[in-house]
Structure 1
C-alpha cells in the first residue's frame, strides 16, 4: 500500500475512535452569557460617545473596537443575542436581540458589498426563525435583492470586493459561499427561483475554480467578466497565493455543507466531505484541533492560532455529520474535540477582553490586523456550535 495513503487512512481512523470530552453546554452558555453582559455594557457606553457605532468587533492593542453598520462584521453581535434567546427563552435576550438587530436594518439596501449574508441574514434570519416577525422577512428579501445585483452571469459568480481595482478586476473570495444562504432562504420566502439559481451558479463556479486537488481552497479568484475566464488565483489574507488560509477552509466547509442542505445535490456533499478531509487529516494542526492561522506558514508553530476558524469548522462538522453517515462519528468526534478545546482553553477569563467570549483568533495577519485577539464572528459560530452540539 502507498505509504502516504496508509498515513492518511490511519489519521482518519484516529478521529473515528478517539472519544472527545463532551462540553458542558449549560455551563458554557452560562459563562458566555456573563461575558456578554459585560460586552453589552461596553457597547452602550461606547455608543453614548459615538452613536453611529453599532456593534463590537474586537479588542486590539488594548482598545475596544466598535464598527458602523456597513462593516462586514456588524451583524454578528445581534445574531449572538438571538442565540442566547434561543437557548434560554429568556425575554431579556429577546429584547436585546430586537434592539441591536434594528441597528443593521438599513444595510438591506447596501449594494456595495457581498457580505449581506453575514450582516443581514445572521441577525434577521435568526430573528425571523425565532419570532416569525414579517418585518424581518421583508428585510431578508430586500437584502437578497441587493446582493443579487452583484451577480455577473458571464462569470457565473457574485462579486466580492469593489476595492483595489489595480490588483484584480472581478474578485470572488471563498468567504462569499457563506452569503448564499440568504439567497436560498429568499426563494423559500418568495417562491422566486431566481435567487436560488444565482446561489447554485455561484456555488458551481466556485467549486470549479477555487479548489486544489487536495480540496484546499484559494482565497481570491479574479474573473474576466467578458469571457468568464479566470484571470488569476491569489490570496489577500493568507500566507501566500498557494497556501491554505485556515478561515478560508472553514468558510468553504460550512458553505458547501449548507449548499447540500438547501439543494440535496450530492456534488456539494462530496465537496464538503473532501474539505473536511483536508482539515481533519492535517498533520500541522495541533492536538487540540485549533488550527494555526494558515496551514502553510513556515514559521509554525511560532505563529497565531485562529479560534474563529475552529468555531466555524466545529459548527459545520456538526451539521455535516447529519448528512454523511459513513463519516458521521468521525465528524461528531472532531467537532466535540474542537468545541471542548474552545470552551476550556480559548475562552476569555471572566470580565476580560471587554466581554468577548473567545480569545486567540486571527483576522488579517498579512495586514498586521487583529492578530491573536477576540473577535465577534468567533463568538457567533462558537455559540452556534454549542447549540448544534445538543442536537
Structure 2
C-alpha cells in the first residue's frame, strides 16, 4: 500500500491532536457548576453500583448483563470484554477512588492476551476502551505496547481490494455474506489512529482512513441514516448487498447503528480535522435529533422505524452512545448547531439519570443503566442492562462535567 499522499493532510494537522474538551468549550456550550450537581451525584452513584458489581465478578470473567435476577458473564474473547474495566477507569477518573482503578488493573491482566486475537474486528472495543483508558491515566508503557499489538492484529483483517476491515468471518459466525462490514466497525478505528500517531506507524493510520472513507461512501443513505451490514465482492471490491442483522429491516434505521456512525465520524474528525468527517458527523446528528420518531425524553426506540412505535422498546444503550458523541461534536460545530447538540445530549443524559433508566444500587446486580436492547430480531438481551450502555453513559457524564480529556 502507498501511504504518502493520503498522509500529508493528516500529518500537517498533528498539532491539533492536543485539543481537549476543556480547550474546546465555550461559555454558552458548557453547564455552570451549580447546574451539574445531578451529574456529580450520579457519577458517585454509578461508582457505588460498580463496587457492588465487582464483588460478584469472577476473576476470569467479564460482566455483560443481568437477566432474570442473574448476572451474566463472558470470557475475554467476547466483544464486550473491554467495557467493564474501561468503565472502572472512567469512574476512577471521575471520583479519584483508587479502589476502582485497582479493580480495573486486575481485570486487565485477564484481558491482555486478546492483543493477539486476529479473529475479531472488535479489538477497538475490547482493548482501547480498556487499555486505552488505562494508559491515559497511568501512562504505563506496557499498555501502549499492548495497544500496538492489538492494532497490528486488527490491521490483519484489512482487505485493500474492498478498502475495509472485515467484520464477521465465515460460518458459524456468518453464512450469508461474502465479506460483511458492519457500521459498528467505525468504533474500532480510534485505536488505529491513536497507535498510528503514538508509534509513527503510517500503516495503522492508512487502514483507519481507508476504512472510514469506504464506509462513508457505501453505508449511508442520502438522509445520513446508515445500513447495518454492507457486504463486498472480494474480487471486484464492489458492494454486493446492503442489509441488517440487528435492525428491523434492511432499509430501516437501527438506533444503535446510527449511534455508532455518529460517534465514529466525530472521532475521525477529532484525529484528522478533515472537514468531510465533521460534515458527515453533523449530518448523522441532524438525522437523529430531528427525527420525528425520537421521543420527547430523547431515548430512542431500538429502531427508528420499528413497526409498533410508540409501544416499541427503547434502547438506552443507543442513547448513551449518542449523548457521548453529541457532547463531543458540539465542540466542533457552529454555535447554533452546538447548542442543539449540547442540549440534546444533556437531555439524553438527564433521562438516563432518571429512576426510569438509572438502576438503584443493587437493583440490576450493580449495572447502571436499564432498558437496553442488544439484538431484537434474535430476542437476546432485550430490555436489560448492558455493559456498553454503562460505559458510554459514564463517558458522557465525564464529558458533560469536563472531567476527562479526549484521548488522541
TM-score, with structure 2 as normaliser: 0.88
- Cα deviation for residue 90 of structure 1 reads 2.3
- The answer on 1:125 being equivalent to 2:136 is no
- Cα deviation for residue 309 of structure 1 reads 0.3
Name 2:41's counterpart in structure 1.
27
- The answer on 1:324 being equivalent to 2:324 is no
Name 2:365's counterpart in structure 1.
354
User: Which of the residues 198, 205, 208 maps onto 1:196?
Assistant: 205
User: Which of the residues 57, 76, 100 maps onto 2:107?
Assistant: 100
- The answer on 1:333 being equivalent to 2:343 is yes
- Cα deviation for residue 224 of structure 1 reads 0.7
Name 2:303's counterpart in structure 1.
294
> Which one is further off, 98-107 or 22-31?
22-31
Structure with greater proportional helix content = 1
- The answer on 1:384 being equivalent to 2:395 is yes
Partner Cα separation in structure 1 for residue 262 and residue 283 of structure 2: 9
Partner Cα separation in structure 2 for residue 207 and residue 175 of structure 1: 13
Q: Structure 2: state its 5+ residue gaps.
A: 1-27, 403-408
SS of the residue corresponding to residue 242 of structure 2 reads: strand
- The answer on 1:174 being equivalent to 2:174 is no
Name 1:365's counterpart in structure 2.
376
User: Which of the residues 342, 364, 373 maps onto 2:352?
Assistant: 342
SS of the residue corresponding to residue 354 of structure 1 reads: coil
User: Which of the residues 220, 230, 233 maps onto 1:221?
Assistant: 230
Name 1:3's counterpart in structure 2.
none
Cα deviation per residue 1:183-206 (whole Å; 9 max; x = unaligned)? 001111110111011100000000
SS of the residue corresponding to residue 387 of structure 1 reads: helix
Cα deviation per residue 1:43-73 (whole Å; 9 max; x = unaligned)? 1xxx2xxx54x21000123331000000000
User: Would you say the 8 A contact 2:69–2:365 is kept in 1?
Assistant: no
Name 1:13's counterpart in structure 2.
none
- Cα deviation for residue 166 of structure 1 reads 2.6
TM-score, with structure 1 as normaliser: 0.92
Cα deviation per residue 1:128-163 (whole Å; 9 max; x = unaligned)? 111110010010000000000000001000000114
For the aligned residue pairs, the C-alpha RMSD in angstroms reads 1.6
- Cα deviation for residue 23 of structure 1 reads 6.4
Partner Cα separation in structure 1 for residue 245 and residue 70 of structure 2: 25
User: Which of the residues 245, 254, 261 maps onto 1:252?
Assistant: 261
Name 1:242's counterpart in structure 2.
251
- Cα deviation for residue 349 of structure 1 reads 2.2
Partner Cα separation in structure 1 for residue 44 and residue 153 of structure 2: 37
Please list, as runs of the form range in 1=range in 2, the aligned pairs for 1:12-91 lying within 5 A after superposition.
24-43=38-57, 47=58, 52=60, 54-91=61-98
Partner Cα separation in structure 1 for residue 317 and residue 36 of structure 2: 20
SS of the residue corresponding to residue 59 of structure 1 reads: strand
User: Would you say the 8 A contact 2:70–2:365 is kept in 1?
Assistant: no
Partner Cα separation in structure 2 for residue 332 and residue 126 of structure 1: 24
Q: How many residues align?
A: 368
